[in-house]
């Protein structure tokens, strides 16, 4: 150890390396507020790309990738901050912009909207009963009844958690 | 499908039968497990026209409430994996066809099936894909303006709004492995039939076919639509004029061409449009341009229009401006026949023939329309699912026409007019 003095170039290099490793670990590990895109453990899907998740929740990808089955998407209720942040982060859409897009999609005959779950508990319940269902919940809420297929890291610059901005809506309450 | 078409096509009034037919034939014995949902939309509109020589829809100088007011209900059901039924009934406060105001009309009734991740097919009654916003023209909540810019979304095409037939849509990502951008290509091909009514004209289109190609790169989209329509049009009001012209052709043979020129029996029309939409940060730029080419034979017109719109969004408030231009020209043998008739029998020889020819010229003149419009407005999303809009639109009429407005008196036309509109749009 006598070779490694406090000012040795090797030690400085090691310090930098360890710091970078720690930062990298923090950046990729789930943190509070991150959102997990989840499905049923029996789903044939094990992971999806960011682009596939985007297309599924925009209604542009209507079949589960690589399968011949229709994907069933679930939303959280309108005033839920997780929903608000999910669409801001995933699609870059404010609640009012999302509402306009959804109206255009639904009444333009493009397809069906995600089914709305009133609570995270209800959403988890629905996901566990349908192999082709996909939904999103706070990462902190995941359990072994769900399979995480994507982790959406939240960027504080694109999300807002104030109640006044959580103006969201869905049309499909069935 | 033939039965479905027959049920649907009789002036759009047999739709309950068509719905019943579909339900009775398509619902599975496992109907209790049917996954379905209802949704709807509405617009309440009020407007005033500033000049007293013209009107727009049913808007006049006094505030009135019908032209933009619409109610819509939609029902969707998942009949099986990948198979969905969609139907939409709308009730409009003003119609350019022969449907009474607020009388419900079957706007959509189709089955859609996802063949693969990239292929989707639909069968039934659907919206003709003329424009960027064709599919949601009646859903005011889905776009920022009070109504889609009229220089392109012209009432002239309202009888062709829907078709009964089938379509197939192909969607794919391009270069998804090589570029770090969302480049998407979509093409739609359709074939079908139409039946409609527009300002005294009975219109049948058998068949219509078209293709839509669109390319999207992130928040920018370019769209082309090319549609062919084989049109049969007859006009009950002008018919007595054509009979008189036929009789007059015995003394002035040139009028034969004119008498035949107010009806069209199976001539092909072409429609082409190009649309552009781009969003960046809080700004959006939308532009569309279209052409309709007639055959030049029988009753034939060439129409073109375009608009360009700039929209800014600040939180839930979106101010916007639009500039548009529209031109419709009658291109037929009608005018040539009248002019040649004056060579055969000069004005003054027969007062009754002169009156007939002058009436004919007036009718021809009504077909020729040219205008520019300048629009400024604002949309405010006041609460979830509800928006209010206010819009000022200035119409500059050209070529002695009244543009998309109509003159009470053809001898007292306004050179311009404004339309001030307020709407409340909601979805549920």
pLDDT at B418: 96
pLDDT at B33: 55
Scored b (16 or more CB within 10 A) or e, B311-347 reads bebeebebebebbbbbbbbbbbbbbebbebbeeebee
Q: Domains in chain B, start-ordered, CATH in brackets? A: 111-427 (2.40.160)
Model confidence pLDDT, tens digit, residues B261-312: 777 888 889 999 999 999 998 999 999 999 998 876 666 678 899 999 999 9
The pLDDT-based confidence of A16 (bands split at 50, 70, 90) is low
Q: Dig out the tokens for A84 from the structure.
A: 């608000």
Q: Residue B393 pLDDT more than 80? A: yes
Same-domain status, A49 and A127: yes
Same-domain status, A37 and A26: no
Q: Residue B200 pLDDT more than 80? A: no
Model confidence pLDDT, tens digit, residues A42-92: 999 999 999 999 999 999 999 999 888 999 999 998 888 899 999 999 998
Share of chain B above pLDDT 70, in %: 90
Same-domain status, A20 and A38: no
pLDDT at B3: 43
Q: Is residue A145 part of a domain?
A: yes
Share of chain A above pLDDT 90, in %: 53
pLDDT at A25: 47
The pLDDT-based confidence of B427 (bands split at 50, 70, 90) is very high
Question: What is the secondary structure of B29-94 as a DSSP string?
Answer: TTGGG-EEEEEEEEEEEEEEES-TTEEBTTB-SS-B-STT-EEEEEEEEEEETTEEEEEEEEEES-
Stretch B55-76: mean pLDDT:
95
Q: Residue B1 pLDDT more than 60? A: no
A-B contacts at Cβ under 8 angstroms: 102
Q: Is residue A150 part of a domain?
A: yes
Same-domain status, A152 and A108: yes
Q: Is residue A174 part of a domain?
A: no
CA distance B357 to B339: 9
Question: Do the chains contact at A109 and B135, CB–CB below 8 Å?
Answer: yes
Least confident range of A34-38, A168-172, B238-242? A168-172
CA distance B89 to B74: 7
In chain B, residues with a C-beta closer than 8 Å to the C-beta of A107 are 39, 41, 72, 74, 88, 135-136, 139, 142, 427
Q: Dig out the tokens for B267 from the structure.
A: 């001539």
The pLDDT-based confidence of A173 (bands split at 50, 70, 90) is very low
Same-domain status, A1 and A36: no
| Alpha-helix residue ranges (DSSP H) falling in B101-184 | none
In chain B, residues with a C-beta closer than 8 Å to the C-beta of A51 are 173, 176, 182
CA distance A43 to A54: 19
pLDDT at A159: 56
Question: Do the chains contact at A168 and B88, CB–CB below 8 Å?
Answer: no
Question: What is the secondary structure of B184-234 as a DSSP string?
Answer: EEEEEEEEEEEEEEETTEEEEEEEEEEEEEEEEETTEEEEEEEEEEEEEEE
pLDDT at A153: 87
Same-domain status, A36 and A24: no
Q: Residue A150 pLDDT more than 80? A: yes
User: At CA B288, angle to CA B159 and CA B152, rounded to 5?
Assistant: 35
ipTM for the predicted complex: 0.86
Same-domain status, A19 and A79: no
Q: Is residue A68 part of a domain?
A: yes
Q: Is residue A3 part of a domain?
A: yes
Task: Outline where DSSP puts E strands in B244-296.
Answer: 264-280, 283-293
CA distance B128 to B194: 9
Q: Any residues with CB less than 8 A from the CB of A156 and at least 6 apart, and which?
A: none
Same-domain status, A131 and A106: yes
Model confidence pLDDT, tens digit, residues B310-369: 999 998 999 999 999 999 887 666 777 788 888 888 888 888 888 888 888 877 777 788
Same-domain status, A104 and A153: yes
The pLDDT-based confidence of A28 (bands split at 50, 70, 90) is low
Number of domains in chain A: 2
What domain range includes position A39? 32-165
Closest partner residue to A96 (CB to CB) among B35, B139, B381 is B381
pLDDT at A163: 35
Q: Residue B163 pLDDT more than 90? A: yes
Share of chain A above pLDDT 70, in %: 71
Same-domain status, A77 and A125: yes
Q: Nearest 5°: phi and psi at B105? A: -125, 145
Block residue for tokens 């339309």: B419
Q: Is residue A93 part of a domain?
A: yes
Closest partner residue to B41 (CB to CB) among A107, A168, A174 is A107
Block residue for tokens 């670990």: A25
Task: Supply the DSSP symbol for A153.
Answer: -
Q: What is the 3-state secondary structure (H, E, C) of A127-148?
A: HCCCCCEEEEEEHHHCCCCCEE
Mean pLDDT, chain B, rounded, equals 87
Same-domain status, A17 and A63: no
Closest partner residue to B39 (CB to CB) among A78, A111, A171 is A171
Q: Which domain CATH number covers A85?
A: 3.40.190.10
The pLDDT-based confidence of A93 (bands split at 50, 70, 90) is confident
Same-domain status, A14 and A37: no
Share of chain B above pLDDT 90, in %: 57
């Amino acid at each position: 150890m006598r070779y490694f003095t406090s000012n040795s170039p090797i030690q400085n290099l090691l310090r930098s390396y360890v710091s970078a490793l720690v930062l990298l670990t923090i950046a990729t590990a789930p943190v509070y507020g991150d959102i997990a895109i989840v499905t049923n453990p029996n789903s044939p899907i094990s992971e999806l790309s960011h682009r596939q998740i985007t297309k599924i929740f925009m209604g542009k990808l209507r079949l589960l990738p690589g399968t011949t089955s229709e994907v069933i998407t679930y939303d959280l209720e309108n005033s839920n901050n997780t929903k608000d942040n999910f669409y801001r982060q995933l699609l870059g859409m404010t609640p009012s912009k999302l509402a306009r897009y959804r109206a255009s999609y639904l009444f333009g005959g493009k397809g069906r909207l995600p089914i709305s779950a009133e609570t995270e508990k209800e959403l988890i319940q629905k996901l566990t009963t349908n192999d082709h269902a996909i939904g999103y919940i706070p990462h902190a809420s995941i359990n072994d009844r769900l399979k995480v297929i994507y982790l959406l890291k939240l960027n504080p610059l694109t999300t807002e958690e104030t109640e006044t901005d959580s103006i969201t809506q869905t049309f499909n309450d069935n | 499908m033939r039965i479905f078409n027959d049920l649907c096509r009789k002036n759009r009034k047999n739709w309950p039968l068509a719905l019943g037919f579909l339900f009775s034939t398509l619902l599975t014995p496992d109907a209790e497990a049917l996954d379905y949902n209802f949704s709807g939309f509405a617009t309440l509109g009020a407007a005033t026209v500033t000049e007293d020589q013209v009107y727009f829809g049913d808007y006049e100088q006094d505030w009135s409430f019908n032209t933009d007011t619409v109610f819509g209900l939609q029902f969707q059901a998942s009949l099986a994996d990948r198979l969905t039924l969609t139907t939409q009934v709308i009730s409009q406060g003003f119609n350019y066809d022969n449907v009474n105001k607020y009388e419900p009309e079957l706007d959509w009734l189709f089955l859609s099936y996802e063949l693969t991740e990239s292929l989707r097919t639909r069968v039934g009654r659907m919206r003709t894909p003329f424009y960027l916003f064709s599919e949601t023209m009646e859903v005011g909540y889905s776009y920022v303006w009070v109504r889609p810019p009229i220089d392109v979304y012209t009432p002239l095409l309202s009888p062709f709004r829907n078709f009964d037939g089938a379509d197939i849509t192909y969607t794919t990502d391009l270069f998804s492995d090589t570029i770090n951008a969302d480049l998407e290509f979509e093409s739609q091909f359709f074939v079908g039939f139409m039946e409609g009514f527009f300002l005294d004209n009975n219109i049948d289109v058998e068949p219509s076919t078209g293709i839509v190609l669109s390319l999207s790169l992130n928040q920018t989209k370019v769209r082309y639509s090319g549609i062919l329509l084989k049109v049969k049009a007859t006009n009950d009001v002008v018919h007595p004029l054509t009979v008189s012209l036929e009789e007059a052709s015995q003394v002035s043979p040139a009028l034969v061409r004119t008498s035949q020129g107010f009806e069209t029996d199976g001539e092909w029309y072409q429609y082409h449009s190009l649309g552009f939409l781009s969003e960046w940060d809080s700004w959006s730029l939308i532009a569309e341009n279209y052409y309709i080419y007639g055959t030049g034979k029988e009753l034939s017109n060439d129409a073109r229009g375009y608009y360009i719109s700039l929209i800014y969004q600040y939180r839930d408030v979106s101010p916007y401006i639009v500039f548009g231009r529209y031109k419709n020209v009658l291109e037929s043998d009608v005018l040539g026949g009248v002019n040649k008739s004056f060579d055969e029998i000069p004005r003054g020889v027969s007062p009754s023939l002169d009156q007939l020819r002058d009436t004919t010229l007036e009718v021809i003149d009504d077909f020729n329309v040219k205008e520019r419009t300048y629009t400024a407005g604002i949309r405010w999303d006041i609460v979830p699912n509800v928006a209010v809009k206010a819009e000022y639109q200035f119409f500059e009429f050209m070529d002695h026409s009244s543009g998309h407005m109509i003159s009470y008196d053809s001898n007292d036309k306004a050179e311009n007019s404004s339309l001030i509109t307020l709407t409340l749009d909601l979805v549920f």
